[in-house]
Amino acid sequence: MIKTYPDGLFDEIKLLAKFPEESHIEGLKIHHDADPVLIKSAKSLFNKGLVTQMDGGYLTDSGREMSEHLHTVLDTMNQ
């Protein structure tokens, strides 16, 4: 069985991948005039408890863990 995923999920993944890996005190700010897809992705990550603010902010503990897993996958796929 082939799984399908909503397009918005991949937009969220792309945004999550942009958060700094090395620093827990750096975050992202999504401005109100940013691409609507980016704004929607940030809100979704917030609603899932992965970031601290609806406009980005910092990764939560869950967000950092998810980001670490994501970067492992991306690094492996990028070889």
pTM of the model: 0.89
CB of 11 within 8 A of CB of 37? yes
Percent of the chain surpassing pLDDT 90: 84
- The confidence score (pLDDT) of residue 50 equals 96
3-state secondary structure of 58: strand
- The arithmetic mean of pLDDT across residues 63-68, rounded, is 94
- For the stretch 8-38, pLDDT in tens is 999 999 999 999 877 778 899 999 999 999 9
- The arithmetic mean of pLDDT across residues 36-57, rounded, is 96
The amino acid occupying position 49 is G
